[in-house]
Amino acid sequence: MENSIFTNGEPTPAFTKGNYPVFNLNKEKITISQVKSGKFFLLVAIMFFIQVMFGALLAHYYTEPTSFFGIKWIYDLLPFGVAKGYHL
């Protein structure tokens, strides 16, 4: 029995010249999973930014352990131990 995909043992193309599928993505609705994926990547980007900022704060604390560019209230709000705990 001959397989319908093959002609004379050679594979036939899925689309012939000038007969390609056309997709208008502007008319397609966004799926629920795409919305959830967008929210997930936004959350991951925000969390990554926060981690980087804590890393920068810790790098500064290693050079000036008692303040952050002379601003004492940041050190009072986020001391070294707390900042390192959140950065991990």
Q: What is the pLDDT of residues 21-59, one digit of tens each?
A: 888 888 889 999 999 999 999 999 999 999 999 999 889
Q: Is the dihedral of CA 68, 70, 72, 74 positive or negative?
A: negative
Distance CA 37, CA 31 (A): 10
Alpha-carbon Rg for the chain in angstroms: 28
pTM over 0.95: no
